[in-house]
Structure 1
């Protein structure tokens, strides 16, 4: 005689909640500047035999305890491991230019620096989004700013970066008409957050920004393909 079994209770998985929880674990809680010249190494699909280096701006501690290198990349400050595009490049590892060593994990000393700082400051959770930290930009990063697809674009130097309590990071640009002192430093009243004032923002390394400003034909053609939407 068989034994009847009660059906197992179905578990309803809220995918939206799961995604939000996963994203929260990736949220940044602390930043530390990179001051020793360590680089991100990446490759392009069109040049499989070549490696390219890009200076790391900072290291970030995530809510889940992981540390990631951060570079200004396309539309945001991006974790190096998330650079994964056939067109624009994909992450290979980190590099110490002094020793030429390539490694796939952030250095231990940055992990200890970030966790110690996070423990020391330990901001209390708040219902409002608040400013956690500001870092100066040390790479000469520039932002291409557009407010409408058909409106003129502007290239502006990035003076710093702000980390907020929701884990978001925004670039600091300057309204030169409001600048009263030089050089422009963090805390000056002429600085404003890029995302709050511009519909679209793309970040470039200093040498690429200079090519754009010099109206280099090849650079402008590549720029048009990258940032101008198809009609």
Structure 2
């Protein structure tokens, strides 16, 4: 015979602990570069009839087994599903530009690749975050770096990406004073994680970075509207 609900001892639910567990299961545990030109498709709320494509940089396997596409977006290498912003865009799906096929789920060959690699490179959990994987940058991504208020911003090329055991991903930037040989490759001593030196790091595709270098007026105006208010809020 069961115990009446009114007589059962109260169960305390620690919401913070549950939230931390859910976040831990969403952390990335393995990356695979996208080398076949597949894209993320998104739309802007201001242009509901127009769709845009952006090349995927990589795919990521989460601790809960989910596989997500990843693009350099705003301040991080971002899972496509997280693009749900009233100003900057909404994720629609993935696209193969060669066949023009639009699909919602990651391709099976990437899922299998990530699952097999994660099983082979099984890492032990540690209290401190440790480096578990490093990817080369293949798209010419650049980072706009800002430090203390009033200091000039720097536009720097991204040379690679590091995945840490806590799921964090850092872009690798070069300290030009320490460059000993070119081309610069992941593992060179001149490279450092972006957020280890810069307060704010925003990512841009190569063509946008070239417009910033040329000081294109429209690009600089859009940049000021998008980046500077966020930077000021961090003071």
TM-score interval w.r.t. the shorter chain?
A: over 0.9
SS at structure 2 position matched to 1:228: helix
* Alignment partner, residue 185 of structure 2: 185
Structure 1 residue 5 displacement after superposition = 7.2
Moved over 6 A (4+): none
* Alignment partner, residue 94 of structure 2: 94
Structure 1 residue 221 displacement after superposition = 1.0
SS at structure 1 position matched to 2:102: strand
RMSD across aligned positions (CA): 1.3
SS at structure 1 position matched to 2:220: helix
Say if 1:75 and 1:201, in contact at 8 Å, map to a contact too.
Answer: yes
Q: Aligned partners of 1:77, 1:19: CA distance in 2, in Å?
A: 22
* Alignment partner, residue 140 of structure 2: 140
* Alignment partner, residue 124 of structure 1: 124
For 1:1-231, list aligned pairs within 5 A: 6-229=6-229
Say if 1:10 and 1:214 are closer, same or farther in 2 by CA, change over 3 A: same
Q: Aligned partners of 1:6, 1:129: CA distance in 2, in Å?
A: 45
Q: Aligned partners of 1:122, 1:140: CA distance in 2, in Å?
A: 30
1:191-229 CA distance string (max 9 Å, x none): 000010000000011111111111111111111111112
Q: How many residues matched?
A: 228
SS at structure 1 position matched to 2:203: strand
For normalisation by structure 2, the TM-score amounts to: 0.94
Structure 1 residue 6 displacement after superposition = 4.3
Q: Aligned partners of 1:56, 1:137: CA distance in 2, in Å?
A: 11
Stretches of structure 1 lacking an aligned partner (at least 5 in a row) = none
Stretches of structure 2 lacking an aligned partner (at least 5 in a row) = none
Q: Aligned partners of 2:82, 2:221: CA distance in 1, in Å?
A: 26
Structure 1 residue 7 displacement after superposition = 3.3
Structure 1 residue 151 displacement after superposition = 1.3
SS at structure 2 position matched to 1:92: strand
Say if 1:59 and 1:226 are closer, same or farther in 2 by CA, change over 3 A: same
SS at structure 1 position matched to 2:7: coil
1:102-132 CA distance string (max 9 Å, x none): 0001001001000000101101112221100
Structure 1 residue 11 displacement after superposition = 2.4
